[in-house]
Structures are given as structure tokens and as C-alpha cells.
Amino acid sequence: MSTSIHFTPIRQAVLAGVSGLGVADPAISKTFFLIRDGYCIGQRFLFDGIQAVWLMAEDVIRFYADDGALLETVEIGQEPAEKKAA
């Protein structure tokens, strides 16, 4: 049995999440497929200062700073949290 994955909505959610973290005009510098035991389990996206990791089984995107600190977790289909004005 074959499973079809549409990566465009994932990429759009990643870009929206990075924008929501304050990066103006985010550009993906590198993309990696995450493989375990020969199967794709997700994707990793690198930006300047931020990385995003999409895990298929959990159906979430996690955003990390370059130092590894977790910035935000977004469920697929959920809008990234809006930043509150101080």
C-alpha cells in the first residue's frame, strides 16, 4: 500500500509559523527529510536563526532557536499563536 503525502501545506504552515515568530520574509535555506528504518517520518527546515521540525506521526511542527530552545509547537491545521502586544 502506498501513502501519498502533500508537502505544500506543510511548507506553508512552516513559513506561517516562522513569520509568526517575527521573521520578516522567511526563506528556507535547507530542507531535510527525516528517515527512520527506511521510512520518511518528517521534515526539517532551516532558516536564519530558526529551525522547524515536522513529525508526521505527531502531526505537529516544532520551532526551535539555533541554540535548540523550543520556541513554539503548532498542530497541523492550527494557526500559529499571534504575538501579544506588550
What are the tens digits of pLDDT across the range 13-25?
A: 999 999 999 888 8
Alpha carbon distance 53, 39 (integer Å): 16
Q: Are 34 and 42 in contact (CB under 8 A)?
A: yes
Poorest-confidence range of 1-5, 28-32, 39-43, 59-63?
1-5
Q: Given this model, what pLDDT does residue 86 score? A: 39
Q: Are 17 and 26 in contact (CB under 8 A)?
A: no
pLDDT digits (tens, 9 = 90+) for 33-82: 999 999 999 999 999 899 999 999 998 999 999 999 999 999 886 655 55
pTM of the model: 0.78
